[in-house]
Amino acid sequence: MSSPQLEQQQSLPAVGQSPEQQTSGNCIINDTPSTEEKQLSQKTNYSVQDSLDQPKGTVLSATASILKGGIGTGILFLPSTFQACGIGLSIIFMIICAVVSYFCWSLISKIIRFQESTDTKDPTNRNLTLEATGGKLYGKSFLIFLQACTYIYAYSSCFAYSIFIYQTLNPIIPNNMVIMAIMFAFYLPLSMYKNIDKLSLFTYLGLSATIITLIIIIGKSCEVIDTTNVNFSSLTQFDFTQIPLQFGVFSFAYDVNGMYTEVHASMKNKNQFDSVLRYYLCIFTLLGIFVGMMGYIAFGADTQAVIFQNIGSMGGVGTALDFLYSFSILASILLYVFTVVKFLDSMIQKYMLKNSTKCMNLFQKVALRSVIFFSFTFLAQYVNQISNVFNILGCIFCTILTYICPLIFYVKAVKKQKSILNAIQNGDIEKDTIQVKPPNISVLDTHYKYYILSGLSFIFGLLGGTSGLVSTIIQIQQSS
């Protein structure tokens, strides 16, 4: 997939700053020596703070984090989705979802970089996430709405992942409380990190566990195909009637909302984020098609909702596989919990524990992470229909965060960019008083095709999400 060229680099001064502020970085003005010394001191303070806050994520670590968050339980539902929609239609729909997701996430990341470049001196305008960018563009009300969507989605994903871990390990460990205790022993110390890139080692381990698991699943499917007489003519190729019921599963399988903008913020060179998205989507699409197709061909009409149920014990290998994949899912839970606890930590520190001691801060963080963990792990013990949970999550939150937000953000960002250009052209920013070498603005491409593509993505998500949600609710009612 080629990267849409939305971003051009152009030398423009930041709006909302006085000429003196603009010259504190790279510009020189005529002033008294004392003022110059003061400006130099301010510049030094900014440089020290910037070096402390500078993100250190690389393309490799960012790709690993997104792969671990994206290759979750959703990929294990693909064989049953291929069975429902047919092999041909599922492959086509996965490619469509990959292309649309790439466009949407790439556009959002470029809008974030544009917003960050409009005021490089404001510490609240650095390393922005999706919700923070929405707040900068539309105000506090929209910020709160996006925070609610992002954190509910992240929390619900952890809830769904916990259901999967219980159902996977129950045949081996019947007591859910024991499973919960084992999960908590890994979860608590790793959830105390302040930066998501600190989880990179655990992310690599989780990703390795995921890859090993999927290789074994593919190998088992190939063995079944080789040793049985597969009736290829009986396999479904196209069944459009099942698309509404499976739309949420497809969306959730790809989805990394609540995490991808955190990964973007953690990168040292954010302009490389499109490469991260391409690597993730290409790898996941190829892997998802292969797992879905081979699993359905191997087990046919007997394909279960989760392919694990078709694998069996395999002389103990299947049991080891259950533990291995549960470990990788725990890594995904950590990545999603990070966005929630980071926000709640900041709110508690701001409004409740302004002048607290280190011991009190530590107690608060342990208590908060424990409450969040036990809340979704207790709830997960009483829900069995995991596929419906994934479908509802995909239809509601993936639709809002992936397909709807890009158009809304783009329209507002383009208006803001035009106001910046007009301010310069009208002379509202006095460039005559400085020797111009101003900071760069990441300029968005305003070609009409981006309005069309973001509009089509909006319609695709809205229609698919609505039909999928209605179909899932009807199915739940009929089965109850």
**Angle 147-152-154 from CA coordinates, rounded to 5°:** 95
Q: How far apart are alpha carbons 9 and 126 in whole angstroms?
A: 18
Residues 6+ apart with CB under 8 A from 385: 476, 479
Give 360-368 contacts, CB < 8 A, sequence gap 24+.
Answer: 365/192, 365/341, 366/188, 366/192, 368/341, 368/344
Record the tokens describing residue 413, joined without a space: 């960002």
pLDDT 10s digits, 55-100: 677 888 888 888 876 776 678 788 888 988 999 999 999 999 899 9
C-alpha to C-alpha distances, 358 to 353, 355, 447, nearest whole angstrom:
11, 10, 52
Q: What CATH architecture is 57-479?
A: Orthogonal Bundle (1.10)
For the stretch 251-280, pLDDT in tens is 777 777 667 888 888 888 888 999 999 999
What pLDDT is recorded for position 91? 94
Weakest mean pLDDT among 11-20, 73-82, 375-384, 415-424: 11-20
Q: What are phi and psi of 442, to 5 degrees?
A: -80, 100
Residue with the two structure tokens 């106001």: 419
Beta bridge mates, 9: 442
pTM for this entry:
0.73
- Range list of β-strands (E), 338-381: none
Question: What integer pLDDT is reported at residue 410 of this predicted model?
Answer: 94
**434 secondary structure, DSSP code:** S
Alpha-carbon torsion (137, 140, 142, 148), positive or negative: positive
206 and 332 in contact (C-beta within 8 Å)?
yes
Mean predicted confidence (pLDDT) in 146-154: 85
Q: Which of 186-195, 325-334, 349-358 has the lowest mean pLDDT?
A: 349-358
Distance CA 477, CA 469 (A): 12
Domain ranges of the chain: 57-479
